[in-house]
Every structure is written in structure tokens, then in C-alpha cells.
Amino acid sequence: MAVNGTGNGAMAVNGTGNGTTGPSKTVLVTGGAGYIGSHAVLQLLAAGFRAVVVDSLGNSSELAVRRVAALAGEHARNLSFHKVDIRDKDGLEKVFSSTRFDAVIHFAGLKAVGESVQKPLLYYDHNIVGTINLLEVMAAHGCKKLVFSSSAAVYGSPKNSPCTEEFPLTPHNPYGRTKLIAEEICRDIYRSDPEWRIILLRYFNPVGAHPSGYLGEDPRGTPNNLMPFVQQVAVGRRPSVTIFGNNYATKDGTGVRDYIHVVDLAEGHVAALRKLFDNSSNIGCEAYNLGTGKGTSVLEIVNEFEKASGKKIPLVIGQRRPGDAEILFSVARKAERELNWKAKYGITEMCRDQWNWASKNPYGYESPDSPKQNGSNSH
């Protein structure tokens, strides 16, 4: 495999495979160096798509793209990367001028709820201005097929679960509002021009890692979410996990969520793309929950992680986190019915793969002893 710098932050990652038939569809993946995006790009390549990643690397490492290339084997010839911020419309325009895209998967954005409360304008800038730029450039180039990363955050804290796509959309924080506003923009675009085909995917709680242990979540700074925190305790980077409240009306008093393996989530994007390209179906602009439909408490998932890792995770009982839902899990039957997608993995596989990633890369992609999958062919 060769990695060619082509100037202007563009990198072509070329494999040495000898397949002669090229992929039929080319997909732009914004945020494709990130946690979910990198897993999705690998699945797209394996499914025979060509993937062009655009990422600012603001919350990710180029090494993730290189590892995707290494894992993709001969499919790596169908992967390329451009370091572009989607708020830079000229930068996006250049990418669209050089390649004709059949569809876009839009992951790029900021996702830390607490930070969005402190810095709302930053969140509106990345998640809304960036999305508008992207949609404008797509429209200008006649690319009208989109899969958008939405979030269960659009539901806020529903009074009951399981949560269907018809539940009220009442996000509790600026992050969730950026997701809802972007969804509304998509619905308006479709109403104005029915040639658009848009799938909004509302993810529940993505966890786990690629089973190889070469791709995973590598948050900058202190993790906001539970499992990255647990993982850092397991590798000795932090002393304990604080449980945000143990007096909820749940099975053991701790919060209940719908954890979903990131590989299942990645497959959901391939399923969504297939739907977009299926001309026999009338798509419009539709939202789908991507979850397992199962609720798991904080204590249950931490126990499962202890089993997977063989490590004791010290726990401290703390206050409830403001804005937290008591119980939030999905009904994902609409995705099963219409996208032909269903999550395959449970919390055992999620914890096993999360630990495999964490133990091989205790400091994420920059770990000194992490596997030599950084663009070399040593795997």
C-alpha cells in the first residue's frame, strides 16, 4: 500500500490490489476520520463503494484513515482523504470539482453536550453553518442523496421508552438543537425540491470498536461519555468512574441507555446508502432510529466490561448529571422494516471489542506501542 501526499492536505491512499472492476458509486464522507466515520468508511469500502473522506482532523487523527486503509486491503485503492473544514466552502467546492459524488454521508460536527452549553456559537458554526455549506455545494453539483448523522439527543428526555421516531422532538441543549435544526433544514430542502433523497439516522449510544482492535474511539481531553471513561480507568489513566446518580426509578437505580456496537451502526450507513440508490423506493426525507431496542443500566454495562477486561473498575456514586434522561432506549423497527437493517451485537461483544481496542491502544492512535497499522502493511 502506498500513501501519496498530493498537496493541499489531500492524500490518496492507494492499495496494491489487482481487481479490475472499479466501484460503481462514489461517496463523500465528511468526518470520516472520526470514531463512527472511520468504522463506516471501512464498511463502505468492503461493500464495494469508493469513499472520499473530508475531515478537519479537529477531533481525530489521520492515523485513523491510514488504519482504515490498512484494514481494507485491496479496497484501499478506493479511499482518499482531504483535510478540509466543512465551514470552508471553497475547500468543499474544490473537492466537488475534482470528483463526481453519487451520495454524501455527513458525520462531521462537534458532539460534546457540555461544551455546546458553554460555546453554543461554536456548535452552530460547525454543525449548522458547515451543514449549510455542504448542502449548497451538493446542490450546485447536482448531488442530492444524503445520509445525515442525527442523534437520540433530538428527543431530549422522553417521559417513557422505547422511543419511536414519532416522539416529540425537544432537545435539551445546544448540541441537540443543532441536530434538530439540521434535520429541519433537510426536511425543508426536500419539500422545496423532491429530487433530494435524505436519510436522517438518529443514533442511540454508540460504543465498542472494530474487532481487529485497530479502530476505536479516541476522545481528546476528558471523555464525556461513559464507555470511553470506563476504558481509560481500565488502562490506568484515571482512578475511578463516577456514576451519575443511583436513585433513578430503574432496575438498579442507575441510568438506562440503548448501547449499540459501532460496527452495527456503520452497517446501518451501508443499508441507508443502498436504500438511497434503490430507485424503486420513494424516500423523501425520513428519520430512522439506530439502536438495539434494549435498555442497559450503567451498572450492567460496567459489570460486563469488567468481565471482558478482567479489570476491576472502581466506582464512586455521584450526583445526577443535569439534563440526563432516566431511561432512553429505542424502537428500531422502522430501520429494520425499511432499511433492512438490524443490530446484531449485544453488550458482550461491545465490551469485548472496546477492551481489545483499549488494551492495544491505551492512549488511542498516538499510543507508543500501538499496533503498527499506521499505513504500513504489517498486519
244 lines the binding site for ligand UD1 (CB under 6 A): yes
The answer to whether residue 109 forms part of the interface with ligand NAD (CB under 6 A) is yes
Q: Which of 35, 123, 155, 175 is catalytic?
A: 175
| Given 77, 257, 275, 311, the residue binding ligand UD1 (CB under 6 A) | 257
User: What is the Cα–Cα distance from 162 to 316, expressed in whole angstroms?
Assistant: 29
CA 28, CA 45: separation in Å to the nearest integer?
12
Read off φ and ψ for residue 221, nearest 5 degrees. Answer: 70, -155
Instruction: Write out the H or E segment, with its range, that includes residue 134.
Output: helix 130-140
Measured from the CB atom, the residue of 210 and 257 that comes closer to ligand UD1 is 257
C-beta separation of 244 from 318 below 8 A: yes
- For ligand NAD, the binding residue among 1, 28, 49, 55 (CB under 6 A) is 55
**Considering only 81-89, 253-261, 303-311, 330-338, which stretch makes contact with ligand NAD by CB under 6 A?**
81-89
Nearest approach in angstroms of CB 339 to ligand NAD is 17
Concerning whether 175 is annotated as a catalytic residue, the answer is yes
Regarding 119 and contact with ligand UD1 (CB under 6 A), the answer is no
* Contact between residue 325 and residue 200 where contact means Cβ atoms under 8 Å apart: no
Residue nearest to ligand NAD (CB): 34
- CA separation for the pair 176, 33 (Å, rounded): 22
231 binds ligand NAD (CB under 6 A): no
Question: Which residues share a beta bridge with 106?
Answer: 30, 148
Q: Does 213 contact ligand NAD by CB under 6 A?
A: no
By beta-carbon proximity to ligand NAD, the closer residue of 23 and 79 is 79
Distance, CA of 91 to CA of 136 (rounded, Å): 13
| H-only helix segments in 47-129 | 62-72, 89-98, 113-118, 120-124
Show which residues are catalytic.
Answer: 175
Query: Could you list the residues that contact ligand UD1 (CB under 6 A)?
Result: 111, 113, 151-153, 175-176, 205, 224-226, 229, 241-244, 255, 257, 298, 321, 323-324
